[in-house]
């Protein structure tokens, strides 16, 4: 093809992309496919609709991208052996006019604590559960499957969602190895949804699901330059998700834009007879969250700044500067900023956190004993016959690859030595106090006192209070550490702070206020587009051009 024709085709490509009229032919032999590290779902879908690419093409490309990067980043623990055949049948459905949902044919990753009744294992990163079987898909996985999402693979995580050890590292699991972030060599990916964060950030799939008990969606989303939605506890089912705490666990999307995350949330939200907490939802069918994507939604919104929850450390000056700049951006977008919308029980929260075994710790420790046993009791095959936390601890202490005692089991030791589970009144007292710290003494109290739509904090400071009261958070990219930042490493040598490492901004609100938070986060995201201002140091090369037609 001559130069002129190529240029013409590239032009055609650019102009027709937006109109969704590109055909498979006009794409071939050009480089005008969308960049899989950045593409949003509406563009992926328009290519599926026009026939420019297929779900099989997408699945092939993502598998190659995983294979290119996994030896360094370890983000993925396994690829679904059925992914290509599932994609082919979804392509056949599309061809005959069956469109299951707005995400029909799009591949996603799910965290390796969300069970699927297929060839993939669900281990929380432990060898003890390898080969274990579940009676059905986790409800959130089933909802994605029914919506025509290709469950492409499982993402690595901080083992047991970071509920095992006091001296492990973010993103390490015995089964999956050490995840590292893509924005700096040997970067601490944060956790516990570390592989979901890395996989979504560099386009190893369209997006990923994570889970959060206290920070495990929003923190790795923040560190990996993503949007993360931590839903209200009870908005998304936890049935057949390996638990920590029924009072705090929740499942949510980690994606490259608020829009993409909203599409996913709309699919996974909803009531489930197998998870009581979902029956408290104030509606029979949850809203379509994409309706809240409104560029003007900061206009007239009342946004509180809880200054007493803002930490000032030796290294977070870039975060604080970006946070103050964000406040100005919101003012300019028409928001009313309410300064010093402080948390009334902040000092009590800090005291409880610093106590050897505070009320918040009791909630997680006691819930874990009960909730883990309940998960294990549902397995239809349990090769190592693990029935309880005591069994799990014993297995871990004796199986060399679990890296004990180099990585201790201090969290479990504490749970077991508590001597009771969540069926006792002392548990209930601890829960009442802990949820008060996050609720009336924390986020809910400030929202009411100052008549606010939402509170904002740097994401580093945001998860603790919402965790204790089951409240939602939406995080969006806020900024990144500048090139002259001094590198700081964690105990196990991962780079926690360093040049180019991203951080996020969190919007926090009342229970079931995801729609409001999504609207505010979208308006902020669209005014800043911070994600696009930095690039990972490592990106896979495979693109759609390499697989279409092969």
Chain residues that interact with ligand NAG, rule: CB under 6 A? 70, 74, 76-79, 81, 89, 92-93, 96-98, 119-121, 130-131, 167, 176-177, 276, 294, 296-297, 299-300, 307-308, 340, 342, 351-352, 355, 358-359, 369-370, 373, 391, 394-395, 398, 405-406, 408, 421, 423, 429, 433, 482, 484-486
Determine the Cα–Cα distance for residues 191 and 214; give it in Å rounded to an integer: 10
Considering the complex, what minimum distance in angstroms separates the CB of residue 346 from ligand NAG?
Answer: 8
Shorter beta-carbon distance to ligand NAG: residue 16 or 516: 516
Determine the Cα–Cα distance for residues 306 and 84; give it in Å rounded to an integer: 48
Q: Any idea of the CA torsion for 458, 437, 508, 482, to the nearest 10 degrees? A: 10
Shorter beta-carbon distance to ligand NAG: residue 140 or 293: 293
Shorter beta-carbon distance to ligand NAG: residue 176 or 215: 176
Considering the complex, what minimum distance in angstroms separates the CB of residue 288 from ligand NAG?
Answer: 13
Are the beta carbons of 70 and 179 closer than 8 angstroms?
A: no
Are the beta carbons of 42 and 165 closer than 8 angstroms?
A: no
Shorter beta-carbon distance to ligand NAG: residue 33 or 127: 127
Considering the complex, what minimum distance in angstroms separates the CB of residue 17 from ligand NAG?
Answer: 25
167 to 24, 407, 411, 458, 488: CA distances (angstroms): 52, 6, 10, 25, 17
CA 435, chain centre distance (Å)? 23
349 to 353, 362, 455: CA distances (angstroms): 6, 14, 17
CA 217, chain centre distance (Å)? 4
Considering the complex, what minimum distance in angstroms separates the CB of residue 484 from ligand NAG?
Answer: 4
Considering the complex, what minimum distance in angstroms separates the CB of residue 37 from ligand NAG?
Answer: 19
Instruction: Please confirm whether the linkage preceding 389 is cis (ω < 30° from 0).
Output: no
Shorter beta-carbon distance to ligand NAG: residue 46 or 239: 239
Catalytic residue positions, numbered: 111, 192, 216
Are the beta carbons of 522 and 258 closer than 8 angstroms?
A: yes
Place of tokens 């799910």: 110
Considering the complex, what minimum distance in angstroms separates the CB of residue 328 from ligand NAG?
Answer: 19
Cα-only R_g, the chain: 23
Considering the complex, what minimum distance in angstroms separates the CB of residue 429 from ligand NAG?
Answer: 5
Are the beta carbons of 79 and 148 closer than 8 angstroms?
A: no
Shorter beta-carbon distance to ligand NAG: residue 381 or 541: 381
Tokens for 382, please give them. 């349990």
Nearest partner of 340 among 312, 316, 310, judged by Cα: 310
Considering the complex, what minimum distance in angstroms separates the CB of residue 385 from ligand NAG?
Answer: 9
Shorter beta-carbon distance to ligand NAG: residue 32 or 345: 345
Considering the complex, what minimum distance in angstroms separates the CB of residue 285 from ligand NAG?
Answer: 19
Query: b or e along 161-183 (b: 16 or more beta carbons within 10 Å of the residue's beta carbon)?
Result: bbbbbeebbbbbbbbbbbbbbbb
Shorter beta-carbon distance to ligand NAG: residue 19 or 425: 425
Considering the complex, what minimum distance in angstroms separates the CB of residue 356 from ligand NAG?
Answer: 8
Shorter beta-carbon distance to ligand NAG: residue 9 or 437: 437
Q: Which 3-state string (H, E, C) describes 383-444?
A: CCCCCCHHHHHHHHHHCHHHCCCCCCCHHHHHHHHHCCCCCCHHHHHHHHHHHHHHHHHHHH
Q: Which residues have a Cβ under 8 Å from the Cβ of 390 and sit 6 or more positions away?
A: 416
486 to 224, 253, 257, 317, 416: CA distances (angstroms): 19, 32, 29, 12, 40
Shorter beta-carbon distance to ligand NAG: residue 28 or 385: 385
Tokens for 374, please give them. 């309940």
Tokens for 30, please give them. 């050009």
Determine the Cα–Cα distance for residues 67 and 74; give it in Å rounded to an integer: 10
Nearest partner of 348 among 360, 339, 340, 338, judged by Cα: 360
């Amino acid at each position: 093809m001559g130069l002129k024709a190529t240029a013409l085709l590239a032009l055609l490509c650019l102009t027709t992309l937006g109109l969704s009229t590109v055909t498979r032919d006009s794409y071939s032999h050009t480089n005008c496919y969308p960049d899989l590290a950045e593409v949003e779902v509406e563009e992926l879908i328009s290519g599926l609709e026009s026939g420019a690419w297929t779900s099989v093409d997408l699945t092939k490309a993502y598998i190659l991208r995983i294979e290119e990067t996994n030896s360094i980043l370890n983000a993925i623990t396994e690829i679904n052996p059925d992914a290509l055949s599932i994609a082919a049948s979804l392509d056949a459905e599309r061809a005959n006019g069956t469109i299951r949902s707005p995400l029909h044919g799009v591949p996603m990753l799910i965290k390796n604590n969300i069970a699927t009744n297929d060839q993939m294992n669900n281990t929380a990163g432990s060898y003890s559960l390898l080969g274990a079987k579940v009676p059905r898909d986790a409800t959130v996985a089933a909802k994605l499957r029914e919506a025509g999402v290709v469950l492409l693979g499982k993402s690595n995580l901080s083992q047991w969602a970071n509920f095992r050890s006091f001296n492990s590292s973010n993103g390490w699991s015995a089964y999956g190895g050490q995840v590292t972030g893509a924005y700096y060599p040997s970067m601490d990916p944060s956790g516990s949804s570390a592989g979901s964060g890395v996989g979504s950030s560099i386009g190893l799939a369209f997006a990923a699901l994570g889970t959060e008990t206290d920070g495990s969606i929003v923190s790795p989303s923040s560190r990996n330059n993503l949007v993360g939605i931590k839903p209200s506890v009870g908005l998304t089912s936890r049935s057949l998700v390996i638990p920590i705490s029924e009072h705090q666990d929740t499942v949510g999307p980690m994606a490259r834009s608020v829009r993409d995350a909203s599409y996913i949330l709309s699919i996974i939200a909803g009531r489930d007879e197998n998870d009581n907490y979902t029956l408290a939802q104030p509606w029979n069918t949850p809203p379509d969250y994409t309706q809240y994507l409104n560029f003007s939604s900061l206009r007239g919104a009342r946004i509180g700044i809880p200054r007493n929850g803002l930490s000032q450390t030796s290294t977070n000056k870039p975060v604080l500067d970006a946070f103050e700049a964000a406040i100005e951006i919101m003012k300019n977008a028409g928001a009313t900023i309410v300064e010093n919308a402080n948390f009334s029980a902040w000092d009590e929260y800090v005291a409880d956190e610093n106590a050897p075994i505070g009320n918040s710790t009791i909630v997680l420790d006691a819930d874990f004993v009960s909730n883990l046993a309940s998960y294990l009791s549902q397995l239809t095959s349990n090769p190592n016959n693990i029935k309880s936390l005591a069994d799990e601890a014993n297995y871990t202490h004796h199986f060399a690859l679990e890296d004990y005692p180099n990585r201790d089991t201090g969290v479990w030791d504490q749970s077991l030595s508590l001597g009771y589970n969540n069926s006792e009144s002392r548990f209930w007292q601890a829960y009442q106090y802990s949820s008060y710290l996050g609720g009336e003494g924390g986020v809910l109290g400030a929202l009411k006192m100052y008549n606010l739509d939402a509170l904002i904090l740097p994401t580093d400071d945001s998860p603790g209070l919402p965790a204790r009261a089951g409240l939602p958070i939406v995080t969006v990219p806020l900024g990144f550490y500048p090139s002259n930042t001094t590198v700081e490493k964690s105990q196990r040598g991962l780079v926690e702070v360093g040049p180019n490492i991203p951080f996020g901004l969190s919007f926090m609100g009342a229970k079931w206020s995801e729609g409001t938070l999504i609207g505010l986060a979208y308006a902020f995201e669209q005014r800043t587009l911070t994600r696009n201002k930095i690039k990972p140091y490592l990106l896979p090369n495979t693109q759609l051009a390499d697989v279409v037609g092969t």
